[in-house]
Each structure stands twice: as C-alpha cells, then as structure tokens.
Amino acid sequence: MPKRLIKKYLPNSEKIKTTKGLGFLAKWLGNPKLWHIHRHNTSKAFAIGLFWMSIPIPFQMVTAAISAIIFKANLPISIALVWISNPLTMPVFFYFNYLIGTWVLGHYVVESIDFELSFHWIFNALGELWLPLYIGSFIVGTSLAIISHLTLRLIWRISVILKWQQRKGK
C-alpha cells in the first residue's frame, strides 16, 4: 500500500484544529480518524467516494465530505474518489446508470433527445429520464460501495497476513 507516500502529504489533525480560517468546522475536521489511513476508515472512504461518484447531483464533494465526517472515514480519499466522475467521464457513467435504471424499471430506453435549453424541455424531457437515472445511479452506487468496501478490506487483510508470514520466515 502507498500508505507512507499518502501520509507524507496529508495534514495532521492538530494542524487542522489550529487553522484559523476553518472556524466552527475545525471541530469536526480536526478528528484524527478523518486523516489516518487504516483499513477501517479507508475502506469506508472508498465506499463513500464511489457511492457519491455514481449519484448525479451537484456538489458531490460536499456530500462525500459530510458522509466521511459522519461515518468517520478518511476525508481526502472520500473526496478524491468523487472525481472519478468528472466532466469527461460523467456521460458514460450516467448513461450506464440510466440503462440500469430502465432495465430495473422495465422502461424503454429513450434513443434520441432533441436538446433545447428551455424550461419546457427541462420539465418534459427530464421527466422521462430522471427516475431511471436515479434508480440506476442508486443501484450502481450502492453496488460499487459494497464491492469496494469488501474488496479493500480483503486485500488489506491478505497484505497483512503476507507481511506476517514474511516476518516469520526470516
């Protein structure tokens, strides 16, 4: 694990607590569990980051940060993973989520959309698209969260076992 490299660039909780510009947020952001890298909070951070990455909402980083604070997950990793869905990758991710949603709901896939920047278009076209998109996004996000959490815990555990076996062999 690149734990040492990541820890080198992360601030410590004491530095966060004494940062003047954070004001009332320093109380929550100063929690050491948000900055340490260990299997529990890192696997939670992957679950949080990948879940919110899959949900098409504005301010995904804010929701990931709030979730990381609530669940005491690694804050920087949670926020960084949200950026997997960026302006270049969003169309692919969200179209896949939409397809999953239409499959689950039994709806037909809207093949072409004549885009028009107007309130009338937003209310009519998005009315057909939003439910399958959000159902699919929730399913994909939840699946990614569970799979990433369990996989990371398993990999981390195997890594620790292998290190212990190497120590015993010396």
Q: Tens digit of pLDDT for each residue in 89-105?
A: 998 999 899 999 999 99
Kindly report the three-state secondary structure assignment for every residue of 65-90: HHHHHHHCCCHHHHHHHHCCCCCCCH
Q: For position 76, what pLDDT does the model report? A: 87
In tens, the pLDDT along 7-48 reads 665 665 555 555 555 455 655 566 667 777 888 899 999 999
CA distance 52 to 55: 5
Q: What pLDDT, on a 0 to 100 scale, did the predictor assign at position 52?
A: 97
Q: Which pLDDT score, from 0 to 100, does residue 23 have?
A: 54
How far apart (Å, rounded) are the C-alpha atoms in residues 117 and 119? 7
**Distance in angstroms (rounded) separating the CA atoms of residues 6 and 154:** 20
Segments making up each domain of the chain, as ranges: 3-169
Q: What percent of the chain has pLDDT over 90?
A: 44
As a whole number, mean pLDDT of residues 131-146 equals 95
Q: What is the Cα–Cα distance from 132 to 105, expressed in whole angstroms?
A: 7
User: What average pLDDT does this structure show over 108-118?
Assistant: 66
